[in-house]
Structure 1
Amino acid sequence: MRRQIWPYRRPSAETLSADTWQLIIDEGPTDLPASLPHWDYRTNLSLSRQITIDMDLLRSEVRLPSDAKVQVAVIWTASGSNLRQSAGAVAIHREGRQKADLEVQLPGELLGGTVTLRTLLTVADPGTVEDPLAPRLSGSILWSDEHKVRLQGDAPQFPIAIVDFSRTTFPDNASWHLELGTQLESATMGTLLLYINERSKPTVQAFQRAAAPRAVDKVILDAVYADVARLMVEAALHHPDFTDESAFDEDSLGETFQNLIHSLFPGRTVADLRQLREHSPHRLSTQIQAAVGVFQES
């Protein structure tokens, strides 16, 4: 196991305590889960967390002078969009036990895939450092941890657009439409687009409440995801270059197809499913419905 050697003193575990990340929803805060299976690109992530620091012990252990300042910062990265940004920082410069209340909001349109939240305690201003083992540079990391959350769980990742179908070529009274590309090497985010008809108020409201759906929202989301899963599985099996041995880049359409099929049909081969599609497409559709678990109790 590789061990990082730091060129300055770092605090012990007793110096700091970190609460779990909280997801802020209409009903109030709740522990941030490992995945958000009904998240969509129109949903921002509102998060909060509290970090408690014993500043007296920190200064003693790290040998920081009394005029030094530290801060707690949050940086997020999203594998789906390949973006990395700061979510803000809280400065701490007083003595005794201090609390840093972190409140961040991550814009949904910039996210996708797995979001990694990295919380860091860093030196904001080293002050008049005299000890040779004390951190001497602003930005020196004293402590950090990470929390990962998978957006949409094992479901496919793609953006969602709410539009008036009367202004498109889609039927006016349809509730949704999946636009699906054909290039397996293309990025999923640029290849898939789920259109929601803004005239279908129940469907729009279901996706707006996707982070914490009501019972009626869950029914609608299940129906949409079952339909989307069916279209994506059929598209994958229709593509001659899609096989069990195919290797695709991370977050590509081909990888998304593979992840979806492995999730829905663990242990079954693409060749087996392709044969089922050719000889009994209606049975394949029913098996996809069962695998998705549409309208089943969670």
Structure 2
Amino acid sequence: MLRASQCLNSGNKLDSYVLVYLIRACTNLGHYFFGQQLHCHVLLSGFGSNVFVSTALVNFYVKFDLVTYAHKLFDEIPVPSVVSWNSLILGYVHSGQFRKALDSFLQLERSIIWSDSFSLTAALSASGQLSLLRLGKCLHSKIVKLGVECSLFVDNCLIDMYGKCGSVDDAIQMFHGMDNKDTITWNSVIAACARNQRLGQALSFLHNMPNPDTISYNEMINGIAQFGNIKDAIEILSTMPNSNSSSRNSVVTRYVNRGQAGEALDVFSKMHSSDVTMDQFTFSILLSDTKQKWIPFFQ
């Protein structure tokens, strides 16, 4: 990166390939200041209309959560490629601006450019976050028509979307229709069931999962703590190979929300003694609810 900076300051002309490489390096390494220098060089050298260079810059600003500025750059691209569109849509998804992501996707659909699996999965993610089941099903139909439904990544996104939209049966149907499954597949269907009060089915999937990981147990524990018997969540927690703060925080939070301060303190004391960290949100809930009752744990 130092040599690149020296080259840039020397006044030597850089071609589009070198510029794209340097911008991507800044993006991956988090070098914001040097990336801005490259952007100035792009503007001065006339490469602003180059779709590859401009798309790399859109990715760069998305990386630093400057999606509004990335969108302005995108609008200046004479003929955006599908990669340009995907960079913008994914930028909105990653920043939590799901409606803007869908607005951009719909603009892509109206353009002369064909959406691809990345565009569609980004739109699926936004649909799931907004619980737009009808739109999610329309996207599923389009995926089938384009013939990309056999992709493991796409199928996992469909399970996740159906689960977040509350359509558990569709999520389970997707799961059973898949020839290949990975850890994300299993975790997605467990989450779909657990988050929609289908605890028995979630537990069945967990027991049948080849190698459950921390996420698998956390989804199950959180679902039971929220909709079932908290003691069952604690039992699973006790059998979890590597319990973490997220697992225990779910139990503590549910106890507090149900007005069971004593039980919450008991779980907290075990966390405190085993050096498991509690996040700030759960810590503040416990403090506000139990007030002076937990002071002895620090004495």
What is the TM-score with the length of structure 2 in the denominator?
0.24
Larger RCO (alpha carbons 8 Å, 6+ apart): 1
Greater percentage in strand: 1
